[in-house]
């Protein structure tokens, strides 16, 4: 049935205004039926996982657990037309620890022109100021690098107040040093309990491996999504975490050093 005929039939029976509403609803559900999976997941054999193809900028994060990495092979790898464009590298942990592979990973990854970022694994039982200073001592950022990241994934039995106040102090200290607002990496549960409503002004990198959409997170601040822990990349032994940049590409400078 032609669309114009359908409009006339509905208008005669229900009036123009009601017809317009009905037609809008019909159109809405037609579009929904044509997009059963809004994230457009696609299995990419080279990486060994499904990727959310709505997003164009894919990357990984690594630490010493990924052992020695051949960054030239990482950068050169292409699967189904997709190449990795960024990497986050673990730099520090707690008040004194440095990832033993950080300096080598940082230097070699930057040579390949991957966009790089450094992260700190945060322990709520350690002095947040000393933890911030540990990161600052070990990480030098340049224009175009990602903003510093605090990796918040353990609570170690601390109170909500201790955790929120400690994170805020780390974030403020690091922001003052680098002149750019740090990124918070966390999972859905910790986000809802500690970050949401307390630290909403900071860019968010969420780890969520089961979601079909990202509607439960602050859309204005959600920039990065770690969607899988079991990817494969040439040049890296074993499995590796996969991420995507979920904002419009023009928003990338929002979370980078000026």
Report whether 223 contacts 205 (CB < 8 A).
yes
Reply yes or no on whether 208 is catalytic: no
Strand partners of residue 206? 186, 225
Distance CA 82, CA 102 (A): 26
**Within 10 Å of residue 13's Cβ, how many Cβ atoms?**
10
Count H helices, E strands: the chain? 7, 11
Give the total residue count for the chain. Answer: 258
> Is residue 153 among the annotated active site residues?
yes
CA dihedral angle for residue 112, residue 116, residue 120, residue 121, rounded to 10 degrees: -70
* Residues 75, 68 contacting (CB under 8 angstroms): no
Instruction: Give the contacts of 153 (CB within 8 A, at least 6 positions apart).
Output: 121, 185, 186, 187, 190, 207
Q: How far is CA 146 from the centre of its chain?
A: 12
Instruction: Out of 61, 145, 151, 241, pick the active-site residue.
Output: 61
Rounded Cα gap, residues 89 and 103, in angstroms? 9
Cβ atoms of residues 215 and 207 within 8 Å: no
Catalytic residue among 153, 160, 200, 220: 153
Residues catalogued as catalytic: 61, 153
């Amino acid at each position: 049935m032609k669309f114009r005929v359908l409009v006339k039939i509905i208008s005669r029976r229900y009036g123009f205004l009601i017809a317009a509403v009905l037609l809008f609803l019909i159109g809405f559900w037609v579009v929904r039926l044509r997009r059963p999976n809004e994230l457009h997941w696609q299995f990419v054999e080279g990486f060994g996982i499904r990727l959310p193809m709505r997003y164009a900028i894919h990357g990984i994060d690594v630490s010493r657990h990924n052992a020695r990495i051949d960054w030239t092979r990482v950068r050169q790898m292409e699967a189904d037309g997709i190449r990795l464009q960024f990497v986050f590298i673990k730099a520090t942990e707690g008040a004194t620890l440095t990832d033993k592979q950080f300096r080598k990973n940082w230097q070699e990854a930057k040579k390949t022109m991957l966009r790089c970022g450094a992260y700190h694994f945060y322990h709520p039982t350690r002095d947040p100021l000393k933890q911030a200073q540990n990161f600052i001592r070990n990480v030098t950022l340049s224009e175009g690098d990602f903003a510093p990241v605090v990796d918040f994934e353990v609570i170690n039995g601390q109170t909500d107040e201790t955790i929120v106040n400690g994170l805020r102090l780390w974030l403020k200290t690091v922001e003052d040093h680098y002149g750019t607002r740090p990124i918070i990496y966390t999972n859905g549960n910790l986000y809802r309990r500690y970050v949401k409503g307390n630290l909403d002004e900071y860019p968010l990198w969420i780890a969520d491996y089961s979601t079909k959409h990202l509607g439960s997170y602050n859309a204005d601040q959600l920039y990065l999504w770690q969607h899988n822990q079991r990817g494969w990349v040439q040049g890296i032994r074993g499995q590796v975490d996969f991420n995507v940049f979920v904002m419009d590409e023009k928003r990338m400078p929002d979370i980078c050093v000026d």
